[in-house]
A and B are shown apart, each in its own frame.
Chain A
Amino acid sequence: MAAARPFYNALFRRNWQMLGAVFGGAFAFEMVYDTSMNKLWDNLNRGRQWKDIRSKYVEEE
């Protein structure tokens, strides 16, 4: 129980702290989840998507 004390002070003590934690957590989770799922998706579809074959057809760069 004593270990939970810093969490309580940082997150739940005041309402704005709680709200901030919820919104910030949602934002961070969304970014991390999206990036990792996109990576997984690109890995499952390696060589099939346009970005994989684009380099063959783009002339400049």
Chain B
Amino acid sequence: MLARSGLRSTRILNGARNGATAFTKRSISSNSRASTESPMKLNVTVAASTALAIGSVAWYYHLYGSTAHAMTPAEEGLHPTAYPWVHQQWLKTFDHQTLRRGFQVYREVCAACHSLSRVPYRTLVGTILTVDEAKELAEENEYDTEPNDEGEIEKRPGKLSDYIPAPYKNDEAARAANNGALPPDLSLIVKGRHGGCDYIFSLLTGYPEEPPAGAQVGAGLNFNPYFPGTGIAMARVLYDGLVEYEDETPASASQMAKDVTEFLNWAAEPEMDDRKRMGVKVLTVTAVLFALSVWVKRYKWATLKSRKIVYDPPKGASNNVRS
């Protein structure tokens, strides 16, 4: 844009300077009157129009050019650090020892407020717990039976097919117990939050000792820079040594946060191990088949690609080649 207007202005200036060739220039130049006016006026005109052009572009960019954000950075929340999760590599499964620890953290810490309502006990069998452990865990809770002959609904101990019970009867009870804030269900939280595992780990470990100077923290809220809006109803829960791991892993706050994050990732994607294993098989076979098909194509096309077409003009007929 600038370069083109610069070209035009030099052309105009040339036309003004070479009065002798002005007549010939007139037919070329778009501004035919320019050649007759004085150089000073021309310079001023060019400078003014250039300034106007630059100014209008700058004004337009000022109005519409910069990226528009619906929210302030504080309302977006701090972007979580990208952590090198091993279980997110293409060829890695979940670390099931970690899942077991994470489930322990969920059961002893998170389950006080957060439900995990889409995970039945049977999915824990063979991934996190043995059958006996899972049955024992399920039997700790009571579930409604089908109506009996009198239509009464009784209670029975839980079975493997039952879902992990929620800490509150319904959302209203959850809100009432938590100062009006609803603790979200954690079954799909890794998929349901921007940033996934990184966000949840950062959130759990990101509570500062005290809010930074000038930060507005509402009543009953806690400051966490990673939470959109920075005011989160959940207080910091993970402190060193809160949980005693059965495999004697030191239960630092970040260790617990990492374990529970991977566990929640499992809860959201229990099929991940099988999906990746199947993916490796499919991609390997597909790669071989693709290479084969490329080879076959080249084989079939070899005669077409390597032939040479030569025009051999008829001898002694230089004047009418076309006949």
Which residues of B80-133 are within 8 A (CB) of A?
91-97, 100, 126-130, 132-133
Distance, CA A34 to CA B277, complexed state (A): 10
Q: Quick check: A41 and B96 within 8 Å, CB to CB?
A: no
**Chain A facing B: main interface SS:** helix
* B273 within 8 Å of A (CB atoms): yes
Q: Quick check: A49 and B281 within 8 Å, CB to CB?
A: no
* A45 within 8 Å of B (CB atoms): yes
* B74 within 8 Å of A (CB atoms): no
Once A58-B130, A59-B132 are accepted as A-B contacts, the answer to whether A37 and B93 lie under 8 Å apart by CB is no
* B280 within 8 Å of A (CB atoms): yes
* A44 within 8 Å of B (CB atoms): yes
* B284 within 8 Å of A (CB atoms): yes
B contact residues around A45 at 8 Å (CB): 91-93
Q: Quick check: A57 and B284 within 8 Å, CB to CB?
A: no
Q: Smallest Cβ distance from B127 to chain A, in angstroms?
A: 5
Q: Smallest Cβ distance from A31 to chain B, in angstroms?
A: 13
* A50 within 8 Å of B (CB atoms): yes
Query: How many B residues, CB 8 Å from partner?
Result: 22
What's the count of A-B pairs with C-beta under 8 Å? 42
Distance, CA A7 to CA B185, complexed state (A): 63
Bin chain A's interface residue count. 10 to 19
B contact residues around A49 at 8 Å (CB): 93, 96, 273
Closest to A60 in B: B132
Which residues of B273-323 are within 8 A (CB) of A?
273, 277, 280-281, 284-285
Distance, CA A40 to CA B276, complexed state (A): 13
A contact residues around B130 at 8 Å (CB): 54, 57-59
Q: Quick check: A37 and B280 within 8 Å, CB to CB?
A: yes
Distance, CA A59 to CA B133, complexed state (A): 10
Which residues of B144-193 are within 8 A (CB) of A?
none
Closest to B129 in A: A57
Distance, CA A58 to CA B133, complexed state (A): 9
Looking at the complex, which one of A48, A54, A56, A59 makes contact with B93 (CB distance below 8 Å)?
A48
Most B CB within 10 A of own CB, among A34, A48, A53: A48
Q: Tell me the B residues contacting A by CB distance below 8 Å.
A: 91-97, 100, 126-130, 132-133, 247, 273, 277, 280-281, 284-285
Q: Tell me the A residues contacting B by CB distance below 8 Å.
A: 33-34, 37-38, 40-41, 44-45, 48-50, 52-54, 56-59
- List 27 A-B residue pairs with CB atoms under 8 Å apart, sorted by A's residue number: A33-B281, A33-B285, A34-B281, A37-B277, A37-B280, A37-B281, A38-B277, A41-B91, A41-B280, A44-B91, A44-B92, A45-B91, A45-B92, A48-B93, A48-B94, A48-B95, A48-B96, A49-B93, A50-B96, A50-B126, A50-B128, A52-B96, A53-B97, A53-B100, A54-B130, A57-B129, A59-B132
